[in-house]
Amino acid sequence: MKALVELANKAREVSGVRIYKRNVEAVLSAVLKSGDFWEIVDMSSLPVPAASGIVKVLIDEGILFIDDEENIKLTQKGFDFVRELGIETFEDHSCKACEGRGIPFYANIELYREFLQLTKDRPKAIRDYDQGSVTPETTISRVLFMDSRGDLRNKDIIVLGAEDDLTGLAIALTRKAKSVLVIDIDKRLIDFDNQIFKELGIDNARAMVWDLRNPLPEDILGNFDVFVSDPPETLPAFRAFIGRGIATLREEGGVGYFGLTLRDSSVFRWRDFQISLTSEFGVAITDIVQNFNHYITWDYHSETKAAELAPVKREPKTIWYKSAWYRIEALPGFKRWNEPISDDVFYLDEEGSTT
Amino acid sequence: MKALVELANKAREVSGVRIYKRNVEAVLSAVLKSGDFWEIVDMSSLPVPAASGIVKVLIDEGILFIDDEENIKLTQKGFDFVRELGIETFEDHSCKACEGRGIPFYANIELYREFLQLTKDRPKAIRDYDQGSVTPETTISRVLFMDSRGDLRNKDIIVLGAEDDLTGLAIALTRKAKSVLVIDIDKRLIDFDNQIFKELGIDNARAMVWDLRNPLPEDILGNFDVFVSDPPETLPAFRAFIGRGIATLREEGGVGYFGLTLRDSSVFRWRDFQISLTSEFGVAITDIVQNFNHYITWDYHSETKAAELAPVKREPKTIWYKSAWYRIEALPGFKRWNEPISDDVFYLDEEGSTT
């Protein structure tokens, strides 16, 4: 039987992404809990190519097999292996009340109700822009999180390129912000928001079409207290969304929120992002709440690289794609970045797979 | 009436610590919720010297006053000022079930019960070692958090200089770790732990006296999967606790947990810590959960610099000192730091005040 570290190295070769011993353990621990590949990705907190590479290697080694219903299971040899290593079943003690976020969506049930009723016919997530909407519970929890940190009331807030989640709409619905500006590449979302703002007479909120690959116009730079975004996980996209987000901040003490996932990006990439945030952009990270953002599986799932890479064809049955919720605070001397950016690898690189 | 930014600058002069506009807003927002100074520190998430400096400046400016019962209140001028600026009352939507941690302590009620009963006569926090114990609910939630991240079962775990919280004891009580080693400077805690390990026949756990200002012995370096600590917030102490913690890790994928507070350290210092972690030590930060750790107000509160700096003499009525829970993951090439360290500013610097 190969050692875990050898299995990790082999999976790294197969998948082309960075994998270490701990990741193989995490997959085995998850398999003890569920045979569903997408749940295994979720529980092991790995990029899809990494989880998939590990599963494939473990099948090759006779540790796992796929049954007739496309469940991933341990062989007898696999059970012995896992027992020998002392790997135990994945456990999750997350709070049932707040779904582990620390802030329950029902803390403002009126807002949740109004949001749900107004968004019944919201535009569906489409592949063109790497969209994937979070659950309404996530969106409302984001707003309540912001409120709990003093980042909502009487603040000028901009939502950049993340309005498939309708977070800008939810913020506007609180009627607590000073102003809300939503910019997104997708005209359907912009029209949807503006229509509701108009119907409800919310005149301090507006939405406009913008492609974040282009520099932001001058009148947006340095004019906001808070930005919210949800970037694709490539480095160029991170710069375009978060760099520009920081550039919209008025002054030190300005705040940014965004999602970052370990399903399309490794912990190695996360460190790169964190070095960039703290050393280059001059912000401090105040919060990282894992699995805060729950994404509804997108209709175009079967067309993604993730589906292609998966060791099984079976589609996800439940929510499997989650991301962490970051909060950053701009310190004196923070950097406003607003360069043009090329199309190359904007949405997809070797670790990403859900576009 | 002075502008917020002028008030911030003045408070900075008075207190000698870094303060910006947003911090003044946070104090005013908190005063709208409570007149208790310690609750104001908690809600504004500021170092005590900063919150105290701001309150003093706002009193000087006729915006705040202290009433006969030592409540901090807005004057009429203060109310007008706050209304003009659109500052609203502090809101906290934290989950009541899990106290905002995302992991409720009662997810393993047997562990909680056993821990409470065994620790009825635990050693009291003393000032000599900057001690301050977290609530039992915090300790148990830490262990369940670790379990949810795959950092408990069959792992070799070391707890460094933080056993006033009895986290090492709680880990050992799960009987799930492969081994537990507790090191702490306080012989009372070491004896307490070893006594319980012996009584319960937990033979994979042990505790030993160690002063973390000294380098760790060779046999401890590189021998653990997970470390847990709770450092004082000075840079030298951070190195001694977290640098040495990282040095105990066996290999990449090793994990560290520790508390860091904004009550004894500013967000500026946090950025320094984060740069050090990611750029120098070579780890990624995977979790920062604000207000995870709740500290029981220590008996020696009245002797602290915090009490001396406070604008009121009234003692804290509730838990006011909280810290964030960090999780880090060591990446290939991570740095093992184990140098000797001097006594200077180990426990206290200009931002700290609770030692």
Mean pLDDT of A157-164: 92
- Chain B contact set for A146 (CB, 8 A): none
How far is the C-alpha of A110 from the C-alpha of B195, rounded, in Å?
54
Task: Identify the CA nearest to B90 among candidates B37, B27, B35, B7.
Answer: B27
- Chain A contact set for B279 (CB, 8 A): 275, 279
Phi, psi of B253 (to 5 degrees): 90, -10
Give the contacts of B303 (CB within 8 A, at least 6 positions apart).
B127
Residue A115 reports pLDDT greater than 60: yes
Give the pLDDT score at B162.
83
Mean pLDDT of B220-233: 94
Please, what CATH class does the domain formed by B4-85 belong to? mainly alpha
Q: How many angstroms separate the CA of residue A20 from the nearest CA in chain B?
A: 7
Q: Please name the residues between 98 and 117 in chain A that touch chain B, using a CB distance below 8 Å.
A: 98, 100-104, 107-108
Q: Is B130 on the interface with A (CB under 8 A)?
A: no
Give the pLDDT score at A161.
86
The mean pLDDT of chain A is 93
Q: Locate the domains of chain B by residue range.
A: 4-85, 105-330
Give the pLDDT score at A46.
95
Give the pLDDT score at A353.
77
Q: A141 to chain B: nearest residue by CA?
A: B93
Amino acid at A51: A
Give the pLDDT score at B301.
84
A6 or B349, which is more confident: A6
Best residue of B46, B82, B92, B98 to probe chain A, by most A CBs closer than 10 Å = B98
Task: Identify the CA nearest to B259 among candidates B228, B226, B297, B224.
Answer: B228
B275 within 8 A of A278, measured Cβ to Cβ: yes
Nearest to A284 among B93, B252, B267 (CB): B267
Mean pLDDT of A100-118: 98
Q: Is B91 on the interface with A (CB under 8 A)?
A: yes
Give the pLDDT score at A2.
79
Give the pLDDT score at A302.
86
Nearest to B86 among A104, A154, A253 (CB): A154
How far is the C-alpha of A173 from the C-alpha of A39, rounded, in Å?
34
How far is the C-alpha of A15 from the C-alpha of A268, rounded, in Å?
15
Residue A163 reports pLDDT greater than 60: yes
B33-63 residue pLDDT tens? 999 999 999 999 999 999 999 999 999 999 9
Structure tokens at B310: 């406070």
Specify the residue for token string 């295994």.
A40
Give the pLDDT score at B174.
98
Residue A9 reports pLDDT greater than 70: yes
- Chain A contact set for B20 (CB, 8 A): 251-253, 332
A247 or A232, which is more confident: A247
Residue B345 reports pLDDT greater than 60: no
N-to-C CA span, chain B: 37
Give the pLDDT score at A355.
66
Asked whether the beta carbons of residue B268 and residue A104 sit closer than 8 angstroms, the reply is: no
Give the pLDDT score at B350.
75
Asked whether the beta carbons of residue A331 and residue B271 sit closer than 8 angstroms, the reply is: yes
Nearest to B286 among A26, A267, A275 (CB): A267
How far is the C-alpha of B72 from the C-alpha of B32, rounded, in Å?
10
Q: Please name the residues between 219 and 248 in chain A that touch chain B, using a CB distance below 8 Å.
A: none
B347 within 8 A of B234, measured Cβ to Cβ: yes
B115-145 residue pLDDT tens? 999 999 898 877 777 778 899 999 999 999 9
B132: three-class secondary structure by DSSP: coil
Give the pLDDT score at A298.
79
What CATH topology corresponds to A105-330?
A: Rossmann fold (3.40.50)
Q: Is B25 on the interface with A (CB under 8 A)?
A: yes
B317-326 residue pLDDT tens? 989 999 999 9
Q: Is B276 on the interface with A (CB under 8 A)?
A: no
Mean pLDDT of B57-79: 97
Give the pLDDT score at A220.
95
Mean pLDDT of A119-144: 88
Amino acid at B324: A
A19-39 residue pLDDT tens? 999 999 999 999 999 999 999
Mean pLDDT of A193-201: 97
Q: A83 to chain B: nearest residue by CA?
A: B154
B326: three-class secondary structure by DSSP: strand
Give the pLDDT score at B111.
98
Best residue of B267, B276, B287, B327 to probe chain A, by most A CBs closer than 10 Å = B267
Cα torsion angle, A15, A16, A19, A21, sign: positive
Q: B290 to chain A: nearest residue by CA?
A: A287
Residue B226 binned pLDDT confidence (cut-offs 50, 70, 90): very high
Alpha carbon B33 to its chain's center: 24
Chain pair A-B, CB pairs under 8 angstroms = 178
Give the pLDDT score at B348.
62
Q: How many angstroms separate the CA of residue B243 from the nearest CA in chain A?
A: 17
Amino acid at B85: L
Q: Is B287 on the interface with A (CB under 8 A)?
A: yes
A295-324 residue pLDDT tens? 988 788 888 888 899 999 999 998 999 999
Structure tokens at A152: 């909502």
Give the pLDDT score at A304.
87
Give the pLDDT score at A99.
97
Burial class of residue B135, CB neighbours in 10 A (0-12, 13-18, 19+): middle
Residue B80 reports pLDDT greater than 80: yes
Give the pLDDT score at B198.
97
The mean pLDDT of chain B is 93
How far is the C-alpha of A346 from the C-alpha of A330, rounded, in Å?
25
Asked whether the beta carbons of residue A331 and residue B252 sit closer than 8 angstroms, the reply is: no
Burial class of residue B121, CB neighbours in 10 A (0-12, 13-18, 19+): exposed
Give the pLDDT score at A348.
62
Residue B355 reports pLDDT greater than 70: no
Give the pLDDT score at B343.
66
Residue A43 binned pLDDT confidence (cut-offs 50, 70, 90): very high
Give the pLDDT score at A212.
87
B263 within 8 A of B46, measured Cβ to Cβ: yes
B259-274 residue pLDDT tens? 999 988 999 999 999 9
How far is the C-alpha of A287 from the C-alpha of B288, rounded, in Å?
5
Nearest to A252 among B20, B107, B144 (CB): B20
The DSSP annotation for B216-260 comes to PPGGGTT-BSEEEE---SSHHHHIIIIIHHHHTB-STT-EEEEEE
Give the pLDDT score at B27.
98
Mean pLDDT of B86-92: 96
Mean pLDDT of A219-242: 91
- Chain A contact set for B287 (CB, 8 A): 288-290, 324
Asked whether the beta carbons of residue A93 and residue B148 sit closer than 8 angstroms, the reply is: yes
B182-218 residue pLDDT tens? 999 999 999 999 999 999 999 999 999 999 888 999 9
How far is the C-alpha of A215 from the C-alpha of A218, rounded, in Å?
9
Asked whether the beta carbons of residue A267 and residue B275 sit closer than 8 angstroms, the reply is: no
Structure tokens at B233: 């917030």
* CA atoms within 13 A of residue B319's CA, in its CB half-sphere: 15
Q: How many angstroms separate the CA of residue A296 from the nearest CA in chain B?
A: 21
Residue B312 reports pLDDT greater than 70: yes
Mean pLDDT of A162-170: 93
Give the pLDDT score at B347.
61
Asked whether the beta carbons of residue B20 and residue A144 sit closer than 8 angstroms, the reply is: no
Give the pLDDT score at B344.
61
Asked whether the beta carbons of residue B150 and residue A20 sit closer than 8 angstroms, the reply is: no
Q: How many angstroms separate the CA of residue A300 from the nearest CA in chain B?
A: 29
Number of neighbours of residue A328 by Cβ within 10 angstroms: 27
Angle at B184 between CA B181 and CA B186, to 5 degrees: 135
Q: Please name the residues between 316 and 345 in chain A that touch chain B, using a CB distance below 8 Å.
A: 324, 329, 331-332
B159 within 8 A of B171, measured Cβ to Cβ: yes
Parallel/antiparallel/unpaired status of strands B283-295 and A64-66: unpaired
- Chain A contact set for B23 (CB, 8 A): 253
Asked whether the beta carbons of residue A104 and residue B87 sit closer than 8 angstroms, the reply is: no
Residue A131 reports pLDDT greater than 90: no
